[in-house]
Amino acid sequence: MLAKRIIPCLDVKDGKTVKGINFENIKEVGDAVELGDWYAKRGADELVFLDITATNEKRKTLSELVTRIARKINIPFTVGGGISSVEDVSLLLSCGADKISINTAAVKNPRLISDLSQQFGNQCVVLAIDTKYIDGEWYVFLNGGRIPTDIKTLDWAKKAVALGAGEILLTSMNHDGTKNGFALDITRSVSESVNVPVIASGGAGKMEHFVDVFQKGKADAALAASIFHYREIEIPDLKQYLHENGVPVRL
């Protein structure tokens, strides 16, 4: 069985790492370069960098900051925020990113997924889905969770993978920052419906939550931010706990 991955997330705004709850009440938590370096040294399997206001502010991801982080780390590095073209991806890969994450641009132009997959390989293309549970159904949201759509999350995940997405980063807006556990139902539904890895995001608060999302949610990786940023859970301790509870991880 493939090892499950633990992925810290750097949500970046104005060059600083930030964190909120349910995508709101954003607070600064530290320097992105220093945090990336710390996580790489502490056993993180990958690192995700999301420029959370790039799309809403209609600008591109902070490429200079991406370069500085990439120089510090030796683990796979995914970058997202404001990416809408092959040229954007070429720039970020040249800055040191290993994979890119697309969200709003892919919904507005699904062909972008195919173009990027053909140009760079599907292993490079991570489809980020910000999803919210409303009236008994999970729906896709755009622009950093600001704009609702009538697109059902499961339908979009299947379509995106068919177009060439090589991985799904699934964030539950209902659970984001609450520390009450991941959204196990939609994570499991997506994981069982696509043939690419699914990264669960939103709601991590205790080590038990990671066991649940791997065993019950069928996730391939789990992403978290605040519990790592505030050192509430240390990655080596989490991996040892997962190992002891039957979850295969890279120790």
Task: Clarify whether 130 is annotated catalytic.
Answer: yes
The span from the CA of 243 to the CA of 190, in Å, is 25
| Cβ atoms of 8 and 39 closer than 8 Å | yes
Q: How far apart are CA 104 and CA 225, in angstroms?
A: 21
| Nearest alpha-carbon partner for 147 in 173, 167, 124 | 173
Catalytic residue, chosen from 37, 45, 88, 130, is 130
Give CA–CA dist 36/56, Å, rounded. Answer: 24
In the numeric block, the tokens 């791997």 are attached to 214
The C-alpha atoms of residue 92 and residue 98 are separated, in whole angstroms, by 9
For the residues of 184-238, what is the DSSP string, one character each?
A: HHHHHHHHHH-SS-EEEES---SHHHHHHHHHTS--SEEEESHHHHTTSS-HHHH
Residues belonging to the active site: 11, 130
